[in-house]
Amino acid sequence: MTRHLSTRRDLLLGSGALFAWASLPRLARAEGRDPRLLVIVLRGALDGLATVAPVGDPDWVRLRGDNAMRLDGPVPALALNDMFALNPAMPNLYRLYKAKQAAIVHAVATPYRERSHFDGQDVLESGLTKPGATDSGWLNRAMAALEPAKGVRVKPQQAFAVGPVTPLVVRGAAPVLSWTPPRLPPAADDTVMRLLDLYRHTDPALARVMEERMGLAAIARADNMSDMKKAAPLPGGAARVAAFFAEASGAAARFMAQADGPRVGALAFDGWDTHAAEGVTQGRLFSLLGALDGAIAAAETGMGTAWKDTVVTVVTEFGRTARVNGTDGTDHGTGTVALLAGGALNGGRVIADWPGVGETALYEKRDLKATTDLRAVLKGLLHDHLRVEEMALATSVFPGSAAAKPMRGLIG
């Protein structure tokens, strides 16, 4: 069992952490299946509308103007169906979608409706209905609810994690393994904003100092604002970010594919807080989505023949504003997307109770309205893929979630 560090500052330092459960679910094994589940958490809030654009919505181009991803744009989007198109930075996910090994759930969110990264991540990773002190995450509790198959177990002294700190989603009673790669993740430039978000609640005086320093920095680069809108390079460079994402995901997959390896894991990738110069089809977000696409491809390659029994789930704490702000970025929002990939999926679909993006359809007149509870998606995967019992899902795994029924039909 790994030693758990629990402060929120530690969670920042744990970006990129991967932990994996050491056992194979007994019921799945009894059915002749050997399922794997890899959960990827994107910290910082993903712009779901820039990832999977509603190109068939008549209000779409009016909403985002020149920033609207289009099928006939300078960098054309990848058509998924008559309504939705995928960001062109993700050709691997598109290939898997066409092969019915990927699916997208749109207009999705946790129960959280505020705009704090830390609180949003608490709700996302804890599986609770609101933020608060907790020592366990929903993925660990799901594993604790499963009876492991006999004779399939990793030695407890083995460790497997990308990063030094266990993310909340996998903390708890079930044993986890950790591994630290030789290549450390590059620092994300949204870390300061997330710390500021924390200190506004816990140390207002320090928050004011940070805000003043950030204000001075903004004045210093005012003359370069037009350049900032054109490009917001990733810390450490796009190539380094992509290499780390692929290395972390590929290592996880190779480990999980082993006959005596773990079957469930969780990764966390930082850097998705795109307040300025988001760069939908070039620049920051485009590079991040390309790195994520490479991570999904690395997982597919690393799993080898186990890919047919695999589901990769990509989730984030909340979405971003429907409209672009004055610095060509987006602010904290609500509805977003969940991305699913893997040979075990019933894929080739965008699943959405689409709310629209017209003025009256937006949540609080600013966000994509969430019409699907993310817990329903996760419960569907845990029940149909790993065979976690529905009663456990509604009580111990996601307490207070009885109204969010497991989404059926996600597994092929």
Beta strands (DSSP E) in 360-404 are 372-373
Using a pLDDT cut of 90, give the percent of the chain over it: 60
Look at residue 235 in the predicted model and tell me its pLDDT. Answer: 56
DSSP code per residue over 303-357:
HGGGGGGEEEEEEES--BBSS--TTS---B-S-EEEEEE-TTB--SEEE------
What single-letter DSSP state applies at residue 194? H
Look at residue 181 in the predicted model and tell me its pLDDT. Answer: 59
With respect to residue 146, please indicate whether it lies within any of the assigned structural domains: yes
Bridge partners, residue 265, by sequence? 20, 38
With respect to residue 200, please indicate whether it lies within any of the assigned structural domains: yes
The arithmetic mean of pLDDT across residues 78-94, rounded, is: 98
**Residue 133: is its pLDDT beyond 70?**
yes
Highest average pLDDT, of 133-142, 149-158, 167-176, 340-349, comes from 340-349
Highest average pLDDT, of 188-192, 219-223, 265-269, 379-383, comes from 379-383
* Residue reference for tokens 């140390």: 203
Using a pLDDT cut of 70, give the percent of the chain over it: 74
Look at residue 241 in the predicted model and tell me its pLDDT. Answer: 87
> CA-CA distance, 85 to 57, in Å (whole number)?
11
**Residue 3: is its pLDDT beyond 50?**
no
With respect to residue 403, please indicate whether it lies within any of the assigned structural domains: no
∠ Cα 337 339 340 (to 5°):
145
356: left (phi over 0), alpha (psi -120 to 50) or beta: left
Say how many C-beta atoms besides its own lie within 10 A of residue 292's C-beta: 28
Bridge partners, residue 247, by sequence? none
Look at residue 195 in the predicted model and tell me its pLDDT. Answer: 58
Report residue 7's pLDDT band, with 50, 70 and 90 as the boundaries. Answer: very low
What angle, 0 to 180 degrees and rounded to 10, lies between the N-to-C axes of helices 117-126 and 191-202?
90
**Residue 305: is its pLDDT beyond 70?**
yes
Cβ atoms 249, 199 nearer than 8 A: no
Q: Which of 136-140, 142-146, 209-213 has the lowest mean pLDDT?
A: 209-213
With respect to residue 350, please indicate whether it lies within any of the assigned structural domains: yes
With respect to residue 116, please indicate whether it lies within any of the assigned structural domains: yes
**Residue 380: is its pLDDT beyond 90?**
yes
**Residue 210: is its pLDDT beyond 60?**
no
pTM value?
A: 0.85
With respect to residue 411, please indicate whether it lies within any of the assigned structural domains: no
Cβ atoms 354, 83 nearer than 8 A: yes
Q: What are 44-80's pLDDT values in tens digits?
A: 999 999 999 999 999 999 999 999 999 999 999 999 9
* Residue reference for tokens 């660990």: 140
Report residue 18's pLDDT band, with 50, 70 and 90 as the boundaries. Answer: low
**Residue 9: is its pLDDT beyond 80?**
no
Look at residue 173 in the predicted model and tell me its pLDDT. Answer: 81
- Domain span at 209: 8-397
Provide the domain count of the chain.
1
**Residue 27: is its pLDDT beyond 60?**
yes
* Residue reference for tokens 């898997």: 96
> CA-CA distance, 266 to 184, in Å (whole number)?
17
Round the average pLDDT of the chain to a whole number and report it.
83
Q: What are phi and psi of 343, to 5 degrees?
A: -70, -15
Q: Which of 13-22, 38-47, 108-117, 223-232 has the lowest mean pLDDT?
A: 223-232
Report residue 152's pLDDT band, with 50, 70 and 90 as the boundaries. Answer: very low
The arithmetic mean of pLDDT across residues 260-267, rounded, is: 83
With respect to residue 1, please indicate whether it lies within any of the assigned structural domains: no
Q: What are 325-349's pLDDT values in tens digits?
A: 999 999 999 999 999 999 999 999 9
With respect to residue 378, please indicate whether it lies within any of the assigned structural domains: yes
Residue-wise over 139-178: b if at least 16 C-beta within 10 A, else e?
bbbbbbbbebbeebebeeeeebbbbebbbbbbbbebbbbb
Look at residue 222 in the predicted model and tell me its pLDDT. Answer: 37
